[in-house]
Every structure is written in structure tokens, then in C-alpha cells.
Amino acid sequence: MNKKTAGLSIAAGAALWGIIGLFVSNLYAIGFTPLQVVAVRAIAASIFLITYALLRNPSAFKMKLTDSKYFIGTGIISIVFFNWCMFVAIEETSISVAAILLYTAPAFVTIFARILFKEKLTTRKVLALVVTIVGCAFVVGVFPSFSGTISLFGLVVGIGSGFFYALYSIFGKFALKKYDSLTVTVYTFIFAAVAVTPFSGIWNVANLFTDIKAWIYIIGLGFLSTMMAFILYTKGLQYIESSRASIIATIEPVVAAIIGFFIFQETLQMWQYVGIIMVIAAVIIVQETSEKLPKKAMIENETSL
């Protein structure tokens, strides 16, 4: 696989993350709650990923019990809360707004990395943080009319999704020092499924699983927007640097906005599109910083949604 093909693979994975709202919104329409959709995604992803790992690399299941703390972080603290916040944000706002609020994650990663890993807070990173904040203000309608277009709750859970998504990169850095990315991803979703299922009340909606459409959306969510997205993204990362991959992955909120506009007839104001462009630009600005770091200093920080 050459760099061009690797870039296309990463773009395809990010695009599959971008269509997640298509499956989530339709599961809501059938009758599932956000927490139940989190459980459905975690369970479905676990089944698909376990099957894939068994076929491709059974050794991926080797893990020390004492290292469970890493997967409590990635699977429970990050993935469960990140998914719940994102799915609620989709319900409270729109697919496109929820997707762009999720992309506040790089700003949080920058802050966490400064506090935990003492990474240098450069001018470029500060600029990216400012652009992200202003961009989000445009997206939620604070600017230019100073009257928000979404609810405070929608804003909080939207930014919360970015916050918990960022934590995946932080916990993941520690886990990736000892395990490969497949092991981290498999156990992340296993821990997430075990943690969220008892609280989801999914057994109360057992009748919804008799609807063939529900299974189509569940398979789409677990297989396409989770497992396949992860495989394509990770495959591309083997041949291209992480920073460039992160830039390519900004296609995700663009795809989400397109899905929202053409399929769900979601409309945004002109300044909200300006905000989307600003947040994507901020992601590119902060990621380009890492290209100047020595290759040895780069730590794989990719995450799967």
C-alpha cells in the first residue's frame, strides 16, 4: 500500500465514522434511548472485533489483569461517556452540530498533554485552542447574534463528547506502550459493553429487536461505523504518519454535515458553517505541530469512534 492508497483508506474510515448519525437517528426513531444505543454499539462492536481478532491475530487477547486499569479508562471512562454524550447531542441538536462539537477533542488533548505529559504549549497550539473556541461559539449560535441556537444541555453534552473522546487519547497513550492497537480496541469495547449493558435497560425494549430495520441499523453501527472504520483507519496508519492521518480524518464532520443536510434535511445558518470551517482548521493547525517533532517522539494517538 502506497501513501496515496493509505490516505484513501484513512479517508474511508473517517467517512464511515461520519455516517454514524444515520444509524443512531434511525435507532431513535424505532424507539431506542441514547444509553441503549451506546450499549448496542458496544456489544455489536465487541462481537465483530472479537471475531476479527480471532481470525487475524488471536494473540491480541493476551493481557495482564493488572493492566485492566488502562481499559477501564479507554472503555468505561472514555468510550461509554463519549458515546452517550455524542448520541444525546445528536438527539438534542443535530448530526452536523454534534459532529463539530465532538471535534473540540484536539483542544482538550492539547490541554491534557500539557498538564500530564508536560508537552510544550506552542503559539500554534494556543492559536488552535482560540480558533476552536470561537468556531464552536459560531456553531452553537453565540456569535454573531449572542443568542444560542441550541439548548445549554445540548451544548454541554456536545462539548462533553469532545472531552471524553480526548480522554481516549490520553488513556490510550499509556495502553499503547504495552499493547498493540488491536488489543487496545478489542478490550476497550469489551469493557465498555460489560459496563454499560446492566444500566441500559436494553431488555425492556426486547420487542424492538423483532424489527428487521433495527438489525440493519445495529449492524451498520457496529460493523461499518465501528469495526470497518477502525480497520481502514489503522491500516492506513501503517503507511502514513499520525499527524497527516488526523488531518485527513477531518472529513468526518464534513460527511456528518452532508448526511444531516441531504438525508435528515438539517439546515444551518451561514455563521454555523463558518464555525465548522474554523474548528476543522484548528484541528489541522494543532496537528501540523506534531510533524515537526522527531519521529521517535511521536506516540501513536489514533482513536476509533
pLDDT digits (tens, 9 = 90+) for 1-57: 787 888 888 889 889 998 999 999 999 999 999 999 999 999 999 999 999 999 999
How would DSSP label each residue in 213-234?
Answer: HHHHHHHIIIIIIIIIHHHHHH
Cis peptide before 106 (omega within 30 of 0): no
pLDDT higher than 90, residue 230: no
- The rounded mean pLDDT for the chain is 84
**How many Cβ atoms are within 10 Å of 12's Cβ, its own excluded?**
18
Contact predicate 35/232, CB 8 Å: no
pTM: 0.82
Give 124's contacts (C-beta < 8 A, 6+ positions apart): 285, 286, 288, 289
Report the first-to-last Cα separation within the chain, whole angstroms: 24
pLDDT digits (tens, 9 = 90+) for 177-220: 898 888 988 999 999 999 999 999 999 999 999 999 999 999 99
